[in-house]
Structure 1
């Protein structure tokens, strides 16, 4: 019997041709500084979206790119898109380009497109004009049907047009950039030859260099092969000191970041990429990942990535693309240990880690606090009780958006309940478990409060336990802070807020506030929640719910202590 025919046949593919390097240097080198970063989120990233970004989304993403410190940002293809043209004009006319930030635009080596590109950039203080044409053998032979000479002629003519049109706008500080598109599929001697021809036209100098961008337009070989290609190119290029060598890697083989790192070892100066790796097919090189790779090796990336949640939120909302919870460095779950042995190792290492020594914690290549992450999430063990589905049902059916820390606390309660029933727990049952676990109005109940907001906020709160009354007074920078002060004055307990969240349930005059709080009560974390038509009341009741759930409540409930406080 013969096997069924299959189209899955590796023999139809040829391996990448070895690069003729007899004395490669990049494997022995170590990175010591960050590259020049160039974002292509607003061009390469945008054109890869099912629904391209709106103008408002572009503005929001632009603001984020500037905020984290990117100095070179490709803002579009203004000759090919009216939206891109209008966005470039908005940046210039509304003075939205900060000092030191250089916008970049892409254009094909065609004169009418180049002319429109420079018109879009009129009035810019500085700009990078990025011109390109395809150079690979397959493009030459099967798309353009031209020999090498014809492709070089296209590049040279494009370079001249760029130079001529730039001369018409002497008020702008221009930088010229050229890409031999599909560099990785181009014969290396030809890649060098065509870039050399463009440099001959532009006549760059070390003081005013051009940018030669070498794109893995499609990743077609191993990452070490890419490094060989970069080293070959650099060592065979004349007037190397007059060119900034830039990399633009894609992730078809999953190696975009690794290829960029090795390309830097091979001598490149600059990398183009996108935040979180959005881009065509499998994506572009992820700037966040590469920057954090450098950071973890003690190298200043020159970018402020200390607020990854903002990056995740803005990118998600602007692109419509979700971020995998295991995304390197910034994914939701990357600092959470679900294994008991991992949890134990992390806890022991953290106990021994000193502030004056290099970071050495098992399973944590960096300190999560550098990225605003909490150790509590790091050392919690996932009960695998379906917390994601549980949170979804609470939000869908009751409008309750649980903070992550409360979701983690509720999950084992729901799992334990689900193990006692046949089939699936209803959303109502989950809701009842939530309220029954975290909403406690006994033994202490809030009967009323008065808040004086002149100067430091002063709070007077009246609590009841049965027939007894407790009057507390305290001050702080908010109602909860003042209540914490009052509680500690009257009980001597050590109580502080670890985390807090609130949101509205419903809309209009019928809306009520729901508040969630996590306290540290005498060294033990405990959570509570409450609902009320008044936001401050909801907050104070949530605090009392947490205290009622803790053993600390018992010390304050001695009748003599209550009467003394009342007196």
Structure 2
């Protein structure tokens, strides 16, 4: 039996923190409902103690979600937990996530507190959350990938003893590599046992956000925290759609499965793009403008014979369509294909003429309807000239 990996989407919180990514509560609600439809297990609504907008978004989203759970972000402070409860209430669907300081670097240079003070914060905040009736409490260890193992163990044990049922390991600065992050997951799993949920939260500063998250679940994590399109601070977060697609295509190899509906993610991403005016990428995996397009003649010939020759990831899986484009790298195959589709008869000499006129010196064309009409018009002109002679 395959192990089901859950996804917590943090687009509306961690993703929004990056410059230019601000969203209104109404926009967050619309995106949350689309993420729910796409099969996301838990949707992080924001940091209620940080702003009225996040407080309101939490109220709105928690009231409308039907199948997904929701999460709120808080510091390991009682006052933050109080505000999170005011915004989202007390229920089994509300995951309160408390961020704790993991590395000595952060303890000294950011927080100016000792390890003992950090542990006391965790104990007090988790105990309070438990006393209020919350059943889902996570402690997220910030900068876990640069923390010492002995302190990580102490933080984990204090969290569980106080009532937490989930530990989140954050590679906050994109410091980790797959091997080091996998070892960290294995270490924490050995401490918490099988009944405590372990989550990954990886950043993409070295381009390893997806690889580290994947290694994390292979090492024993139960959940991936990610953002749509990989948006987020600096170079962004683990890309939700990329990890979900890997598990879709490689799930049998890994013995893993998810509830994510890949065909629903692209339309959600388009909505996100509109909300935050996100620039369109040409080659972003899965969502880039041309990732399911081909222009090179050799590739087009192979794909017209059998799409599997150059297409492992299927566009239909993402709710997208395959495109054949015309550039100077295209060949005669695309001309023959377009004319055959229109039922137009032609000779090899005519194809050579069309190639020299429209492709050999061409730069780029993505409007095949117009391009096909040009081919047909040129053929008719040629035939008329021959008839006149």
TM-score normalized with structure 1 length: 0.56
Question: Which residue of 2 is the match for residue 155 of structure 1?
Answer: 122
> Where in structure 2 are there 5+ consecutive unaligned residues?
331-356, 381-389
- 1:199 deviates by 0.5
Where do 5+ consecutive residues of structure 1 fail to align? 1-30, 168-172, 205-209, 351-360, 386-411, 419-433, 435-515, 520-524, 529-545, 552-567
Check whether the contact 1:257–1:290 (CA below 8 A) recurs between aligned residues.
yes
**What is the distance in 1 between the residues matched to 2:201 and 2:23?**
22
Find 1:128's aligned residue among 78, 81, 95. 95
Q: Which runs of 4+ in 1 moved over 6 A?
A: 546-551
User: Pick from 91, 107, 111: which aligns with 2:78?
Assistant: 111
Counterpart of 1:382?
Answer: 327
**For residues 527 and 374 of structure 1, do their structure 2 counterparts lie closer, same or farther at Cα, with a shift above 3 Å needed?**
farther
Q: Which of 172, 176, 184 is residue 137 of structure 2 equivalent to?
A: 176
2:268 to 285, 295, 311: 311
Match of 1:347 in 2: 304
RMSD: 3.1
Q: Say yes or no: does 1:270 pair with 2:215.
A: no
2:175 paired with 1:186: no
Moved more, 292-301 or 320-329: 292-301
Q: Deviations over 1:329-367 (max 9, x none)?
A: 2222112223222223333334xxxxxxxxxx2221123
**Distance across 2 between alignment mates of 1:39 and 1:268:** 16
For residues 332 and 78 of structure 1, the distance between their equivalents in structure 2, rounded to whole angstroms, comes to: 35
SS at match of 1:306: helix
Q: CA deviation at 1:381?
A: 4.2
Question: TM-score, normalising length from structure 2?
Answer: 0.80
Residue from 266, 273, 282 that aligns with 1:325 = 282
- 1:41 and 1:275 in contact (8 A); partners too: yes
CA apart distance, 1:103: 0.8
Q: Distance in 2 between matches of 1:89 and 1:124?
A: 13
**8 Å contact from structure 2 (residues 144, 171) kept in 1:** yes
* Contact 2:198–2:223 (8 Å) recurs in 1: yes
Determine the structure 2 residue equivalent to 1:356.
none
In the alignment, what sits opposite 2:167? 212
Aligned to 1:370: 317
Whether the 8 Å contact between 1:58 and 1:318 is mirrored in structure 2 is no
Rg larger in structure: 1
Q: Is the 8 A contact 1:257 1:289 kept in 2?
A: yes
CA displacement 1:166-215 (0-9 Å, x = unmatched): 23xxxxx631111111111111221121111110111x6xxxxx111011
How far did residue 243 of structure 1 move?
0.6
Counterpart CA distance in 2 for 1:550 and 1:340 is 21
**In 2 relative to 1, CA 54–381 (structure 1 residues): closer, same or farther, beyond 3 Å?**
same
Say which SS state the counterpart of residue 135 (structure 2) adopts: strand
Hey, what's the Cα distance between the residues in 2 that align with 1:293 and 1:416?
39
Matched, 1:225 2:180: yes
After superposition, give the CA deviation of every residue in 1:294-344 in whole Å (9 maximum; x if it has no partner).
122255542112155413311201222223221112222112223222223
Q: 1:41 aligns to what SS in structure 2?
A: coil
Judge conservation of contact 1:49–1:319 (CA < 8 Å) in 2.
no
What are the superposed Cα offsets for residues 482-515 of structure 1, whole Å, 9 maximum, x if unpaired?
Answer: xxxxxxxxxxxxxxxxxxxxxxxxxxxxxxxxxx
Q: What CA distance in whole angstroms lies between the structure 2 residues aligned with 1:371 and 1:146? A: 47
User: RCO higher in 1 or 2 (8 Å CA, sep ≥ 6)?
Assistant: 2
| Mapped partners of 2:178, 2:116: distance in 1 | 30
Correspondent of 1:297 among 250, 269, 294: 250
